[in-house]
Structure 1
Amino acid sequence: MELERGLTNRHVQLIAIGGAIGTGLFLGSGKTIELAGPSILLAYLIIGIFILIVMRALGELLLSDLDKHSFVDFANVYLGRRIAFITGWTYWFCWIAVAMTDLTAVGIYIRYWAPGVPQWLPALVCLVILVFLNLLSVKLFGEIEFWISMIKIVAIIALIVIGVYMIATKFETASGTTSLKNIYSHGGFFPTGVKGFMLGLQASVFAFAGVELVGLTAAETDNPLKVIPSAINSIPIRILLFYLGSLTVIMSIQPWDTIVASESPFVTVFATVGIAGAASIVNFVVLSSAISACNSAVFSTSRMLYGLSESENAPKSFSKLSSKKIPAVALYSSALVITTTVILNYIMPEGVFLLITSIATSCFIVIWGVIVVCHMKFVKQTKKRPNFKLPFTPYLNWLTILFFIMIACLLGVLPESRVALFVSPVWFIFLNIMYSLFYKKSEPPKE
């Protein structure tokens, strides 16, 4: 029995958008704006360019061999079994962290309406519901992502349209007159200097975590040759519209230095506009976004364990499928680990978001780096590349790797993110030990 190919073109397109619009934008952008001010727009643009390079490399890999289900399979071929083992389990760990972050966001958003509700309770209820829904069918997962992503798209477009109207009419809010001048009249475009911009750059990386999920859906897509290139090629438009467009509007309506880092700037802005119920509507949108991102995380972690089991890098029980062709054991196991976020939200509700996002960021840049290196190896060894290929190889590959190394170094500057540089190495050392225990003899890569 194999995984069901139940995801259509519209599912994958919206999953790709959902992966690029999540908690990192809706909630995390408050912190990045505090660090970098308006220059955060340039930071998102730079990161978006490098993410596009990674995705083009991943797309070429996937289309070169449709029998491979994820980039972990390519790591196995081009970098060896040990690296594949570490990459697979690290990607699983990445999505565990993403799920924990999004569940934390769910608790924060619910408290906007019900301040007395403990932050951990909505997180627990949300996780139970998502696990149940993921047990039903992969097509249902695709439908949930489609409609929740649609809500996000409509909301951001509405925000931009309303913002453009407010800018054009010089709309008066509690923060003053709406104008593009608000972007540069409060200390300039780089109000926190080069250091602030660089810190904002590293803090913004988490907002893009999950775009590579398109690659993980390849095994359950009914027409990957058409669907995957289309989803990847739409990334630049999404970055320009959703990131640069929405944040430009936000900082035009409300000066960047009045935005609170611990709150969603999307909710804050509409709360100051004075439109009845607008803030609650936007809070519903960002809540649905967090649920969508967590849904993607639950899906990803179960498929990652399934893939690891299929390649004999995890217990065989994780590859067992239910009658609906869902890796149920892998799903339950991942959900059990994700529940640790409930404990963290009970112990340290104020600091858990930044802690987990920093750890996730450090792991994601390792994953993206592995994809880029695998692509270089593939190009060097192959004689025939698919039509959908990354240009200027290996120069863009090396430039991307250097960029990620710089981001890793920047993680050590802020106290909130510095912990990631301690946790991540421990994780990689642990995986190396586990690999050595399970595979005492060196084995050739598995095709």
Structure 2
Amino acid sequence: GWVLLFMVVFTLANLAAVKNFGEFEFWFAALKVGAIVLFLALGALAIAGWLPDTDPVGLANLTGQGGFLPNGWSGVVSGVLAVVFAFGGLEVVTIAAAESEDPARNVARAVRSAVWRILLFYVGSMLVIVTLLPWTSMVPGESPYVAVLDAIGVPGAGQIMNVVVFVALLSALNANLYGSSRMVFSLAERGEAPKGLLKVSAGGVPRRAVLASVAFGFVSVLLNLKWPDSVFLYMLNAVGAVLLFVWALIAVSQLRLRPRIEREAPETLTLRMWGFPWLTWTALAAMGAVLVLMLTDDGARPQVLWSAGATAAVLLVAWLRELRAARGTRSSATKRN
């Protein structure tokens, strides 16, 4: 019931005005960033032994208990497979920036900001956790953030983190509603979706695209109500592999389309990625390596195979459409001649 309520609320917010997306994300981000900054600050004080009833930790937990990588790289591999889905939606940053007043400048700023935030918030918080707690104290299924806060004596740590996680989920929902609707709108612009989806409101909101993008969201809510023990787990397990395929298709699209734009309309290419094409190929190689690792994992293998099948089906449909369009062009040229 609550999931359906939030779906309705965020759908109405995205239908009303583009600024609502930014307004919600501002407050969500403020709470999330505030929580993680506070966590990093408390962690740093605890490491230095400057909190009440704490002693300096130093590097004991990093060098002791078997040292770095006590069980080899297998733990790192498992961690990579588990956290891939957490970076989903990062590409929405550039989509939102592209609708700003100065896209070329704001897209570059958004990407640089995202990279620094990942290094500070993701990597930084993990460094605090492994420095404060020995790896042998980690309990599967329990939040390491809560474990750290409990260890340094923060009251109500579990409830605090539950609120932060809840806000993060709402933020992800809001971002995905926005991003998917813009993707649908973009497909309609290129003739790969019904032209009726191009209609926008007086405030610039593609309302039909928003409704089309949230339709499956409402269907999934109903499916989850009927099969709560299976639908959610299946969707969650599929996210990681699907994201890798989506990112790989984005990279392949760049490799194919950027040279064409440079030949046909170089003046429109106002924002250029540095390190092209070698950095793009490096990213593709890294994503391929993660997919290979997922194939070697019994738990991750099914989602890779299902996602590969879905990706192949999408590529097949796209190829058939392109083939039909090419035949139509040749047919028209033959009739003119």
Query: Per-residue displacement from partner, 1:400-425 (whole Å, max 9, x unpaired)?
Result: 22111111111212233212222113
In 2, the alpha carbon distance for the partners of 1:180 and 1:333 equals: 52
Larger radius of gyration: 2
Change (3 A) 1:435 1:393: closer
Counterparts of 2:239 and 2:40, CA distance in 1: 29
1:13 corresponds to = none
Shift in alpha-carbon separation, 1:173–1:390, aligned structure 2, 3 A:
farther
Which position in structure 2 is the counterpart of 1:217?
96
Q: How does 1:30-179 map to 2 (within 5 A)?
A: 121-169=1-49
Correspondence for 2:109 among 221, 225, 230 = 230
How far apart in 1 are the matches of 2:272 and 2:319?
Answer: 36
SS at match of 1:222: coil
- Cα drift, residue 171 of structure 1: 5.8
Structure 1 pair 218–158 and aligned structure 2 pair: CA distance change class (3 A): closer
Q: 2:205 aligns with which of 323, 326, 329?
A: 326
Check the 8 A contact 2:181/2:206 in 1, yes or no: yes
Contact 2:149 2:157 in 1 (8 A): yes
Q: Within the alignment, does 1:301 sit opposite 2:192 as a pair?
A: no
Cα offset, 1:231, TM superposition = 1.4
Separation in 1 of the partners of 2:140 and 2:273? 37
Q: Deviations over 1:84-127 (max 9, x none)?
A: xxxxxxxxxxxxxxxxxxxxxxxxxxxxxxxxxxxxx3322222
TM-score by length of 1: 0.64
Assess if the C-alpha contact under 8 Å between 2:4 and 2:218 holds in 1.
Answer: yes
How far apart are the structure 1 equivalents of 2:152 and 2:177?
A: 36
Structure 2 match to 1:6: none
Alignment of 1:46-445 (within 5 A): 121-169=1-49, 180-342=59-221, 343-344=223-224, 347-349=227-229, 352-353=232-233, 355-377=234-256, 380-381=259-260, 382=262, 389-432=272-315, 434-435=317-318, 441-443=324-326
**Which residues of structure 2 form unaligned runs of 5+?**
328-337
Instruction: List per-residue Cα deviations over 1:135-184 (Å, max 9, x = no partner).
Output: 1111111111112111111111110001111111176899x985542244
Residues 177, 253 of structure 1: 8 Å contact kept: no
* 8 Å contact kept, 1:363–1:424: yes
Q: How many residues align?
A: 323
Please give the TM-score of this superposition, normalised by the length of structure 2. 0.82
Cα distance in 1 between the residues matched to 2:153 and 2:105: 45
Gaps in structure 1 of 5+ consecutive residues: 1-120
CA distance in 2, matches of 1:219, 1:395: 24
Query: What is the CA–CA distance in structure 1 between the aligned matches of 2:134 and 2:226, rounded to whole Å?
Result: 33
Q: Distance in 2 between matches of 1:146 and 1:264?
A: 25
- Residues 358-386 of structure 1: CA deviation (Å, up to 9, x unaligned): 42222322332233334334554526686
Contact 1:305 1:319 in 2 (8 A): no
Higher relative contact order, structure no. (Cα contacts within 8 Å, ≥ 6 residues apart): 1
Aligned-pair distance for 1:391?
3.5
SS of the aligned residue for 1:360 comes to helix
The alpha-carbon distance between structure 1 residues 144 and 234, as it changes in their structure 2 partners (threshold 3 A), is same
CA RMSD of the aligned region, Å?
A: 3.2
Amino acid at match of 1:145: E
Q: Equivalents in 1 of 2:320, 2:257: separation in Å?
A: 29
Q: Which whole-Å CA distance do the structure 1 matches of 2:141 and 2:33 have between them?
A: 23
